[in-house]
Amino acid sequence: MHTPLSTEPQTTTGSAGGGGGILLISAIVAALGSLLFGFDTAVISGTTEALRQVYALNDNLLGFTVSSALLGTMVGALLVGRPADWWGRRPVLAMLAVLFVISAVGCALAWNWYALLFFRWLGGVAVGGASVVCPMYITEIAPAKRRGILVAVSQLNIVIGILAAYFSNYLVARVLGADAPTTWRWMFGVMTAPAVAFLLTVLMIPESPRWLVKQGRRSQAEAVLARFGHESPAREAGEIEESLKAEMGGQHQRLFQRKYLKPLLLACMIAAFNQLDGINAVIYYTADIFRMAGADNTSALKQSVIVGFTNLVMTIVAMALIDRVGRKALLLVGSVTFVMSHILAAWVFATHAQGWIVIAAMMGVVGSHAYSQGAVVWVIINELLPNAVRASGSAVVCSLVWVLCLGVSWSFPVVAAKSGAYAFGFFALMMVLQFVLVLKYLPETKGVSLEELQKRLGATD
């Protein structure tokens, strides 16, 4: 007897009308890992003031505490590629769900600062792994014409996770009191619920058809492709098999070789600007930024919810556009609005402005990220990387994301204490550079099969 979303072959013929439903459900379930990624990233923003007091942290130690999770993300992103190739995408997603549960419970019950650091680090390992495997899985199951919007479901869930963390922090503070001694523990502990939901659902989705082909299980791969609504499962399975012929012959493909250099460098370029756009300086320290502008603790958490809602709305806009206008256009337009928003944020810090202008600046930065870099990055990284090295390449690229995220999140409170204008001025310059490099070097990838992209980028023998 089959589970509703089992990987056992039921048919190997063309597209079935019902494939879209199973495809969407599988994408949403996989993207729960991304929701936890977003929740874990943002939840600490509501606890920073309490952590300063409970553990007597200065700016540098607070930065390290926030960044402790990012030390884990680098480990998770770097090491998850091989297990995803050995055991499959689905079992690895389940293991990440277990780590999310342990991290949430551990942070809530942390008995000292070192325990908190460890469980934040463990959650970071799960976040790093999810940043690789969740969008990779969705990329590999989606038909080319729907790939952009389906992988953007992963980014949508990151954003929903961020908004959920902000809203959860606000509700916990309202119910228990912003300054109550256990409030920060409940803020961390809330993440247990979505983590358990992820664990219970992830084993019900089918395995990636591209991974099945790599394991020599072509008939199962064709069945999964058919159930997901692909128009010609047999032909597509053949194309996947051809693109993987070196591995199917028993040879392991090294990532660092000439034919993979161009797609790897392009993916690394997009990944680098994903952090150099300054988004995590805002996400991690949203409440702190509003407190710097004169808001009290509860008001700062409430204003953070507004920023999180902006993130959600603009991500939905991006999902409507990404398969129509393309990835490159969103990055170019986003670069322009980023520059304007960062200049406004720099002016806010330089003049010590207060009120609505502070919210407008933060909404501008977060909104610019949401409809451009945020929506595009996880789609295009996996589109650019060839089939044979997608897992290992995505692990390297996502590790770069987290190294830069660590640098930004650790240094921001130290730099902002001196002059936030310098930090946002730097981010504005980085977005000017992104505009130039994307315009000159990045190809458009919308509507092109992964195997055809591999040929266009010269990543074939």
245 CB contacts (<8 Å, ≥6 apart)? none
User: CA 394, 72, 183: angle at the middle one, nearest 5?
Assistant: 125
Q: Along the 461 residues of the chain, how does pLDDT read in single tens digits? A: 333 343 443 333 333 344 567 888 888 888 888 888 888 878 887 888 888 888 888 877 887 887 788 788 888 888 887 888 888 888 999 999 999 999 999 999 988 999 999 999 999 899 888 888 888 888 787 777 777 777 777 778 887 888 888 889 889 888 887 778 888 899 999 999 999 999 999 888 888 888 888 888 888 888 888 877 777 788 877 777 776 665 444 455 566 677 778 888 898 999 999 989 988 778 767 666 776 666 666 666 777 778 878 888 998 888 888 888 888 999 999 999 999 999 998 888 788 777 778 888 888 999 999 899 888 887 888 788 877 777 778 778 878 887 888 888 777 777 777 777 888 899 999 999 999 999 998 888 777 777 777 777 765 65
pTM score of the predicted model: 0.68
Q: Which amino acid is at 18?
A: G
Q: What are phi and psi of 179, to 5 degrees?
A: -105, 10
Asked if 45 and 62 count as a contact pair (C-beta separation under 8 A), the reply is no
Whole-number Å distance between alpha carbons of 241 and 235: 10
Residue 326 contacts residue 438 (beta carbons within 8 Å) = no
What is d(CA 9, CA 15) in angstroms, rounded to the nearest whole number? 14
* Amino acid at residue number 161: G
Distance CA 228, CA 230 (A): 6
Cβ–Cβ < 8 Å for 36, 127: yes
The Cα 293–Cα 349 span in angstroms is 9
How far is it, in rounded angstroms, from Cα 233 to Cα 220? 10
Q: In this structure, are residues 358 and 289 in contact, taking their beta carbons and an 8 Å threshold? A: yes
Among the listed residues 391, 405, 388, the one whose alpha carbon sits nearest the alpha carbon of residue 78: 391
Calculate helix-pair angle for 147-176, 297-321, nearest 10 degrees: 170
Question: Which one-letter amino acid corresponds to residue 66?
Answer: V
> How far is 254 from 243, CA to CA, in rounded Å?
15
In whole angstroms, give the CA distance from residue 223 to residue 228. 9
Ordered by where they begin, the domains of the chain are 19-205+253-441+452-456 (1.20.1250.20)
| Ranges of H-type helices in 215-296 | 218-227, 233-243, 245-248, 261-276, 279-284, 286-292
As a whole number of angstroms, the distance between CA 368 and CA 335 comes to 8
Tokens standing for 356?
Answer: 């609505």
Task: Write the DSSP string, 133-145.
Answer: HHHHHHHHHS-GG
Structure tokens at 184: 């920060």
Q: Is 372 helix (H, G, I), strand (E, B) or coil?
A: coil
User: What's the CA gap between 167 and 426, in Å, rounded?
Assistant: 30
Beta strands in 7-76 (DSSP E): none
Complete DSSP assignment for 413-435: HHHHHHHHHHHHHHHHHHHHHHH
Is residue 450 a contact partner of residue 148, using CB atoms and an 8 Å limit? no
* Lookup: tokens for 459: 């990543």
Residue 287: other Cβ atoms inside 10 A: 29
Give dist(CA 403, CA 73) in Å, integer.
Answer: 9
- The upper half-sphere exposure of residue 389, i.e. CA atoms within 13 Å in the direction of its Cβ, equals 23
